[in-house]
Amino acid sequence: MGDGKKILFINRRGPYGTIYAQEALEVALVGAVFDQKISLAFIDDGVFLLRPGQSTVGLQMKQFTAAYRALGDFEIHRVYVERESLQVRGMKEENLMEIVTGPDGGTRNLVKVVSSVELMDVIHSQDVLLND
Amino acid sequence: MSLEYKGRTLETDKDGFLQDMSEWSPEIAEHMAALDDLALGEDHWEVINYIREYYEDYRIAPAVRILIKVMGRRLGRDKGGSRYLYRLFPHGPAKQACRYAGLPKPTGCV
């Protein structure tokens, strides 16, 4: 299977207005199963994806954001949220869901809030960027 | 495609996965397994129930490698190994167990 590429999925939109974020998550999980080194970034309205307790009752759509909590099971351990995007939306780190790894990898929260400058470094270190 | 069960017709995809999860019942799982010449024992049910719980939590059906890992964590190493799971579900543990569990095809399964 080789070493796998470093692939960053950049999520910029909220959860249910479009299908982008859901598709990106599916592709990210499949990529992880095939040994790619996957990271996820949440910027702009993408930060809304990580609000916990979302309900799709009445939307007739699948509630897909719960699956972000399974990222640790798929060995996806790099999850970045841009601080500036949170700030302009009046959100704080504690408004985001926690994504913890299982007992194998400890129980630390994988969600890391970073500045846009720090995120730029992450972006520059990738082999592939997938931007919605 | 579809599955006939007690005079009802249940819609399935081309690989036999139920289209409507809410139609599932344990009896349907037994029926699907019987069509594959398999009788579901306690060990099978442990896996099927675990996959259903996982789906309830995360809204995804785990691919085989993920299943092996999370089952090992849950049930101990002797039960989580791929050999153990393949012995229970010879057609591929994630695919076969998810189908009996009434869930969609596992994510990462192509």
Burial of residue B47, with CB atoms counted within 10 A of its CB: 0-12 exposed, 13-18 middle, 19 or more buried: buried
CATH of A6-131, one of 3.40.50.1170, 3.40.470.10, 3.40.50.2300, 3.40.1260.10: 3.40.1260.10
pLDDT in tens, B57-81: 999 988 888 888 888 877 776 776 8
> Is the minimum CB–CB distance between B63 and chain A shorter than 8 Å?
yes
Which tokens belong to B105?
Answer: 């095809």
User: Which candidate in B55, B77, B105, B107 is best for mutational testing of the A interface (most A CBs within 10 A)?
Assistant: B107
pLDDT at site B76: 76
Interface confidence, given as ipTM, is 0.80
Mean pLDDT rounded to a whole number for chain B: 89
The model's pTM is: 0.85
Extract the residue ranges of chain A whose pLDDT is less than 50: 1
DSSP H helices in chain A: 20-33, 83-88, 116-124
Give the minimum alpha-carbon distance from B34 to chain A in angstroms, rounded to a whole number: 31
Contact yes or no for A66 and B70 at CB 8 A: no
Which tokens belong to B19?
Answer: 């289209």
Domains of chain B: 2-100 (1.10.10.370)
B98 catalytically annotated = no
- How far is residue B36's CA from residue B100's CA, in Å, rounded to a whole number? 11
Which tokens belong to A69?
Answer: 């909590």
What letter would DSSP give residue A110? -
Query: Average pLDDT in the B30-50 region?
Result: 94
User: Which candidate in B21, B55, B56, B58 is best for mutational testing of the A interface (most A CBs within 10 A)?
Assistant: B58
> Is the minimum CB–CB distance between A2 and chain B shorter than 8 Å?
no
pLDDT at site A43: 97
3-state secondary structure of A7: strand
- Collect all residues of chain B within an 8 Å Cβ-Cβ radius of residue A74: 66, 108
Under 8 Å between Cβ of A24 and A63: no
Q: How many residues does chain A have?
A: 132
